[in-house]
Structure 1
Amino acid sequence: MKDGAPVEVAEAIFESVLPRNASDIVPKTPAGILVAVADRLDSLVGLVAAGCAPTATADPYGLRRIANGMLQTLIQNGVSVSLARAIEAAATRQPVEVTEEQRTQAHDFVVRRLEQLLADDGSPREVVRSVLAERSDDPHLAVATVADLACAYKTPEFAAVMASYSRPTKLVSGKDYDSGWTVDEGLFRQDEERDLWAAYKAVEAEMGAAGPSPGVGAFVEASGALEAPLESFFNSVFVMDEDESVRSNRLAMMRDIAALPKGLLDLGSLPNF
């Protein structure tokens, strides 16, 4: 400021080094947030590309501190950003080539730091892993979702949702079914199939109406519509029918139902699923 720089510029320069430790303040001005995050991304990606990633016992270049500072800044300011896109942008500015493997390494490193930060704050590990399996690319969104899930996942309503999704998921989990299968309503033989498919479409539409990043509450509320149709379906319908086309159609429906939580959380990471 003594040299005539605008106050906003001086603040951004000061904030670019924040936070200096885990208990320090974070940048608050838009320019300060941008510079602080960009500077840490540049350092992180560049050091990983140069082969300076930390080991289990040594972190001479302070990459953990760099990643933690970036995460604190994003989370405490409520800033959503795609880590993959941000790392890709930083990689294009490096004086050395940054391979795809190194970009993935940098991304995974930041996600591990995010997981540790959440665990240190007292979030249950299983809840953290369930959310990070689907939302690790946006730290702010991931933290908000972890908080929502931590409150919801031991409620009777959430237990009912887990029970609803458990059987369809287990039917198709780890199986090498044709991902190109689509559900053909003309192949339905029983009313229970039609009722379940109608319930699935209703849940899918309700989740879509909740926006690109629906919350846990919206997921639980929408998924309640599956409980009764799924119960009736499994009481009356044999999925593994002898007719290959009918069997494939039913498995495709199970696959689509099991995929409804995708983009929000991984139910399989939670106990008793």
Structure 2
Amino acid sequence: MAQCTEELSANIPMKVFGKFPPLLFRTVVEITSGDSKVFSGESVRLRCSIPDNYNFTWRYLWFRGSKQLPQNGENIVLWNANIKESGKYYCQGFRNSIVGKIHTLKSLPVEITVDGGWAILQVPPHPGLVGESLIMTCHVRGNPPIREAILYKDGVEVLRQNGSGGHLHLTNLTLEDGGLYSCRASWDTFRHTVSVISTATQLQVLEVLTQPIMEIVDDKPINPSNMKLVCHVQYNARDPAPPMYFYFYKNNKHLAMAISQNYILVTRSPGTFTCMAMVPQMGVSRQSDPKSFGQVTGTYR
């Protein structure tokens, strides 16, 4: 998922060694087998990768939380995982160079939960988006033939499905669908019905576009004739994300046609300013609340 805030931001500063700054890389941790939530006794394999077009020879460091782990290879495997191995896993690469040891940035964390119970509600690792559908799975230790699965949100039943193998479908998501979910699975064995319930897990639902915020940057001592209009918005979309464009208005009149950058320079003058973010390929657009600058007369809507 592409999840970004469209605003000007400085690149990560690089310390200069002689004439050439070191190349900064960020490692990536991914689950190559297993799941982010597993039962005790099951296994999970994680891999650390470094996007590198220069074919450097890297070595690896692994961390669970702030604790460095003894493993130092590209892969780490939790065999017969136990509850104590739950946590956020990071990796970091390093290599020797003519200027000494160079480390990559630490990866973003992958959280592994080892559950000692009988049922796990498996939720997609990425947040849901408004208008989308997603599938949760009520996974039971030993994989018995599940006859019925019930989904609860904040302790209240919201969905009941029979003969679905534990798969639970949520369609046309809204922001209100975010919350704590758990599931109950039932199956028949030896003329008895067995029923188990999972612990709760969080589901996050995001808007594709948040409402933009209009910022007016007025630095008169440096630029006495112009000011900057900046449109801040968070854009959440699956990769590859279609392009987003920005429109700027003064007193409800266009200041500029659609542009891909989220700011423009305009002549300093009083008025009421708004901006709009739009993703044409998705048919999605959001407009900011108006923001006034200087002595404004009249009302603009």
TM bucket normalised to smaller: under 0.3
Larger Rg: 2
Normalising by the residue count of structure 1, what TM-score does the alignment of the two structures yield? 0.24
- Which structure is higher in strand share? 2
- Which structure is higher in helix share? 1
Which protein, 1 or 2, shows the higher relative CO under an 8 Å CA cutoff with sep ≥ 6? 1
Normalising by the residue count of structure 2, what TM-score does the alignment of the two structures yield? 0.23
